[in-house]
């Protein structure tokens, strides 16, 4: 029975990695839709978010079933609880990719991002895709070093986000209020995407060590 239980735990971890892969595809496609004003691709991201939600719900249901049937303790209990929380973070990352796609749909056929900011958002999208790829790797490996590396990658997203607000606040913005709001929201979506990745890294640290502070995070990453 214990072997069956551990096999089920391993399957939950495998499914979390698969969920991270779905989220990676969502942020990649939503960024492309944003840069190209591709409404069909945006609609695809919006529709596919349901698959992410369903995968998260299935993971949580199986985790609850494991709690009910096996009454795990110690590291096994941490694994089940951390898995449920990580699935929630990944689901919210999928929601953020959907939010980007919804801005694309709202502004179509116009581009939501002015030409001079395209390179910045292209970079933000690339970092977001990289960071969720690293999340999947960390879930699979449970490496504390790899988990800490996620925070370092997220730092660049934070810098780009702050720089975006500097651009908006300089007084030279020529694209109107609506565009300014879109850019601020889009930048925030990518920044929060990274924050959720850092939260997953923190949960992996807790899973491995049993210590909530196994991976020290800046205060900004404590927000949910």
User: At CA 102, angle to CA 96 and CA 103, rounded to 5?
Assistant: 100
pTM above 0.85, yes or no: yes
pLDDT of 181 higher than 80: yes
Count other C-beta atoms under 10 Å from residue 173's C-beta.
14
Tell me the torsion sign for CA atoms 93, 21, 123, 105: negative
74 — alpha (psi -120 to 50), left (phi > 0) or beta? left
Contact 46, 113 (CB under 8 A): no
Residue range 174-201: mean pLDDT, rounded: 96
Residue with tokens 């909530």: 212
pLDDT of 49 higher than 60: yes
Tokens matching residue 137: 């790797």
- The 3-state DSSP class for residue 104 equals helix
pLDDT for 14 equals 94
């Amino acid at each position: 029975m214990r072997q069956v239980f551990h096999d089920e735990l391993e399957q939950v971890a495998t499914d979390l990695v698969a969920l991270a892969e779905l989220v990676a595809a969502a942020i990649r496609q939503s960024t492309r839709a944003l840069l190209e004003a591709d409404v069909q691709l945006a609609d695809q991201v919006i529709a596919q978010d349901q698959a992410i939600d369903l995968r998260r719900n299935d993971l949580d249901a199986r985790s609850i079933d494991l709690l009910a049937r096996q009454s795990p303790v110690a590291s096994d209990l941490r694994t089940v609880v951390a898995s449920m929380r990580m699935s929630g973070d990944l689901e919210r990352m999928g929601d953020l990719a959907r939010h980007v796609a919804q801005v694309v749909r709202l502004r179509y056929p116009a581009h939501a991002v002015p030409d001079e900011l395209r390179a910045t958002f292209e970079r933000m999208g690339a970092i977001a895709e990289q960071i969720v790829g690293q999340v999947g790797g960390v879930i699979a490996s449970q490496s504390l070093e790899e988990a800490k590396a996620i925070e370092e990658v997220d730092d660049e997203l934070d810098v780009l986000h702050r720089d975006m607000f500097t651009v908006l606040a300089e007084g030279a913005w020529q694209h109107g209020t609506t565009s300014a709001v879109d850019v601020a929201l889009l930048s925030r979506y990518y920044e929060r995407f990274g924050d959720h990745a850092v939260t997953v890294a923190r949960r992996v640290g807790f899973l491995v060590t049993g210590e909530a502070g196994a991976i020290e995070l800046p205060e900004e990453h404590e927000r949910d």
